[in-house]
C-alpha cells in the first residue's frame, strides 16, 4: 500500500509559506494604520484651541434670530426706562427749585426750620400707666381712683353710679377730663354673662353709625371694652335720668307723654335697623340725653338683645328660657316661652305708652300670676280697655290693631306706625322744641293721668335693673338716677 506521508509533507511545506505571506500583509496594514494615525494627530495638534464647528440646522438659525430680536427689545426697553427716569429727575429738580424759591421768599432756611410756638402746640397726653390690680372698698365695690386702660385711653373711677343684679355702673373720667359711664360685670362666665352680647351689639351699632351718620341716633355710643382678672367692663356715653324716674317725679302734660312715646318708638326702630331685638322694652330702659341732647330719648341696657330673625327656618321657635322681660311690659310671646321678634318689642312699647299716658291703668298692673297676666294681655287686644285708651290719642287704636296683625318674623311697617304718631302730634299741635317739665326744675308729686306708683311686691324680671346716677342737663356737678 502506498503511504500518504508525502502528501502530508507537501502540505506541511506549503503551510509555512502561506503563513509568511499573511504576516507580511499584516505588517503592511500596520504600517498604513500608523501613517493615518500620525496624520490625525498632526491635524489635532493644528486645530488645538480653535472652536469646533457644529452643523447648524434651520431651527438653530431661527432660534438665534429670535434671541437677537429679544435682545434688541430689551435694549429698547432699557432706553425707554432710562428716558422716563430722566424725565422724573427733571420734574423733581423743578419741584426742588420751586420749594427753594418759596423758602427764599418767605425767609425760611432749610437748615433752621421755624420752631413751632408752644402756645399753638396741643398738649400731649401723659403716657399710659400699666393696668392696676383690682382694689375694692368695704362694700365690695371698686375703689375710687382706680385706673383702667381701654384702647389708647386711660380712665379713672370717680364714683359708683348704681348697682344691679348683673353688675355695677361707675362714673369715670379720661385724661382729657371727658366723662363716661363704665358698666362692669364681676365673676360671671358663659351663659351667666350678659356683657358679651351687649358688647357685640354696641360694637355693631358703632360700625353702623360710622357707615351711616343718621343710623342709631337714639342708641348710646361705645368706647371700648376690657377685662381685668375676673372683672369685665366697657365704656359707653353718659346720659341723663330714665323716663320711668322722670314720669314718677314730675307731673307731665299730654304733649310730653306723646313726645316720649314717639322718641321711644324711634329708639326701637334704630335698634331693629342695626339687626337686634331688645326683649325688655319699658320706661326704665329709656334715658334722657344731656345738654344739647336733653330733648332726645335713648334706648339703653342691651344686655338681653338677640339678633333679628327674618326667616322662621333660620331660627328656633321656642326660647331656652321660660320667661324673659318684665311681667308688666313683657309681650305675650314671652309668656308662651317662644322666641321674641321685632313685633314683640313693639307690643312692649305699646304697654309702656299706656303706662306713660295712664299710669297704673294696665289691667294686669296688680296681678302676679303669669298665666293670668297672659290671659289679660290677650283680652287687651281682643277688647281694648276704654278707660286707658280714652286718655291717649285716638290713633293708638289703629296702632294697636297694626301691631297685633304683624306676623312672627314679618318686618313691621314702621313708616305707617310713625305716620299715625305724627298725625296725633299734628292734631294736638305738639311743639317738639318746647322744654320738658324736668327742664323747668320744679318737681311735683302727681304724674300725668294719676299717681304713678309701682306695687311694692311687683316681681322683677330676670335682669334686675340698676339705677345709675348721671349728671343733670346744663349742670356738670349735679347727678341723677338712670335705669340701665
Domain extent listing, the chain? 146-237, 241-428
Cα separation, 174 vs 155, in Å, equals 4
Cα separation, 444 vs 438, in Å, equals 10
Give the largest Cα separation in the chain, rounded: 177
Question: Hey, what long-range contacts does 203-209 have (CB within 8 A, 24 or more apart)?
Answer: 204/274, 204/275, 204/276, 205/274, 208/273, 208/274
Mean pLDDT within 248-267: 95
Mean pLDDT within 224-236: 90
The CATH number given to 241-428 is 1.10.510.10
Specify the CATH superfamily of domain 146-237. Answer: Phosphorylase Kinase; domain 1 (3.30.200.20)
Mean pLDDT within 46-62: 59
At residue 47 the predicted structure's pLDDT band, cuts being 50, 70 and 90, is low
**pLDDT at position 216:** 87
Residues with Cβ within 8 Å of 342's Cβ and at least 6 positions away in sequence, in order, are 272, 277, 308, 406, 411, 412
Q: In terms of pLDDT, which residue wins out, 479 or 213?
A: 213
Residues with Cβ within 8 Å of 93's Cβ and at least 6 positions away in sequence, in order, are none
> Which helix or strand (DSSP H or E) is residue 334 part of?
helix 332-335
**DSSP code of 171?**
E
| The three cell numbers locating residue 75 | 435694549
Contact call for residues 234 and 202 (beta carbons, < 8 A): yes
At residue 56 the predicted structure's pLDDT band, cuts being 50, 70 and 90, is low
**pLDDT at position 316:** 65
Q: Encode pLDDT of 179-223 as tens digits.
A: 999 999 887 666 567 888 899 999 999 888 888 877 888 999 999
CA angle 354, 422, 442 (to 5 degrees): 60
At residue 130 the predicted structure's pLDDT band, cuts being 50, 70 and 90, is low
What is the overall mean pLDDT for the chain? 78
Residues with Cβ within 8 Å of 404's Cβ and at least 6 positions away in sequence, in order, are 381
At residue 33 the predicted structure's pLDDT band, cuts being 50, 70 and 90, is low
Q: Which of 227-231, 297-301, 332-336 has the lowest mean pLDDT?
A: 227-231
Mean pLDDT within 407-432: 94
Q: 77 among the known binding-site residues?
A: no
Residue 343 pLDDT more than 50? yes
| C-alpha distances in Å from residue 70, one per residue of 65, 77, 78, 429, 430 | 9, 11, 12, 85, 83
**pLDDT at position 116:** 53
> Which helix or strand (DSSP H or E) is residue 161 part of?
strand 153-164
Q: Per the confidence metrics, is the pTM higher than 0.85? A: no
Residue 473 pLDDT more than 70? no
Amino acid at each position: 500500500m502506498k503511504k500518504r506521508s508525502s502528501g502530508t509533507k507537501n502540505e506541511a511545506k506549503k503551510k509555512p509559506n502561506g503563513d509568511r505571506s499573511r504576516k507580511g500583509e499584516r505588517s503592511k496594514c500596520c504600517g498604513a494604520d500608523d501613517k493615518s494615525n500620525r496624520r490625525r494627530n498632526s491635524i489635532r495638534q493644528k486645530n488645538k484651541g480653535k472652536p469646533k464647528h457644529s452643523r447648524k440646522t434651520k431651527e438653530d438659525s431661527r432660534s438665534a434670530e429670535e434671541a437677537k430680536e429679544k435682545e434688541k427689545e430689551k435694549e429698547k426697553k432699557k432706553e425707554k426706562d432710562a428716558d422716563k427716569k430722566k424725565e422724573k429727575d427733571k420734574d423733581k429738580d423743578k419741584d426742588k427749585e420751586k420749594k427753594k424759591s418759596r423758602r427764599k421768599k418767605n425767609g425760611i432756611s432749610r437748615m433752621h426750620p421755624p420752631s413751632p410756638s408752644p402756645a399753638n402746640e396741643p398738649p400731649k397726653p401723659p403716657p399710659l400707666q400699666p393696668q392696676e390690680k383690682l382694689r375694692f372698698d368695704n362694700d365690695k365695690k371698686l375703689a375710687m381712683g382706680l385706673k383702667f386702660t381701654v384702647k389708647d385711653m386711660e380712665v379713672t373711677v370717680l364714683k359708683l353710679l348704681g348697682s344691679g343684679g348683673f353688675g355695677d355702673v361707675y362714673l369715670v373720667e379720661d385724661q382729657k377730663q371727658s366723662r363716661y359711664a363704665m358698666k362692669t360685670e364681676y365673676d360671671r362666665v358663659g351663659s351667666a354673662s350678659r356683657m358679651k352680647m351687649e358688647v357685640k351689639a354696641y360694637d355693631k351699632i358703632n360700625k353702623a353709625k360710622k357707615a351711616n351718620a343718621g343710623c342709631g341716633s337714639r342708641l348710646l355710643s361705645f368706647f371700648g371694652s376690657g377685662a381685668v382678672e375676673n372683672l369685665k367692663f366697657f365704656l359707653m356715653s353718659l346720659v341723663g335720668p330714665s323716663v320711668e324716674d322722670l314720669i314718677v317725679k314730675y307731673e307731665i302734660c299730654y304733649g310730653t307723654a306723646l313726645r316720649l312715646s314717639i322718641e321711644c318708638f324711634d329708639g326701637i326702630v334704630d335698634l331693629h335697623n342695626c339687626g337686634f331685638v331688645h326683649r325688655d322694652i319699658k320706661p326704665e330702659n329709656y334715658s334722657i340725653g344731656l345738654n344739647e341732647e336733653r330733648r332726645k330719648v335713648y334706648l339703653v341696657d342691651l344686655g338681653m338683645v338677640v339678633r333679628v330673625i327674618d326667616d322662621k327656618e333660620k331660627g328656633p321657635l321656642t326660647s331656652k328660657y321660660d320667661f324673659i322681660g318684665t311681667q308688666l311690659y313683657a309681650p305675650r310671646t314671652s309668656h308662651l316661652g317662644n322666641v321674641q321678634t321685632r313685633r314683640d318689642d313693639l307690643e312692649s312699647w305699646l304697654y309702656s305708652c299706656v303706662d306713660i299716658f295712664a299710669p297704673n291703668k294696665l289691667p294686669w298692673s296688680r296681678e302676679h300670676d303669669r298665666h293670668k297676666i297672659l290671659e289679660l294681655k290677650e283680652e287687651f287686644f281682643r277688647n281694648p280697655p276704654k278707660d286707658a285708651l280714652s286718655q291717649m290719642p285716638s290713633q293708638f287704636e289703629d296702632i294697636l290693631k297694626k301691631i297685633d296683625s304683624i306676623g312672627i318674623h314679618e318686618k313691621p311697617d314702621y313708616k305707617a306706625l310713625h305716620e299715625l304718631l305724627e298725625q296725633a302730634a299734628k292734631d294736638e299741635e305738639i311743639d317738639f322744641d318746647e322744654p320738658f317739665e324736668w327742664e323747668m326744675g320744679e318737681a311735683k308729686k302727681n304724674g300725668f293721668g294719676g299717681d304713678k306708683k309701682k306695687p311694692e311686691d311687683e316681681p322683677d324680671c330676670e335682669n334686675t335693673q340698676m339705677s345709675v346716677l348721671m349728671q343733670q342737663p346744663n349742670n356738670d356737678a349735679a347727678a341723677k338716677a338712670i335705669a340701665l
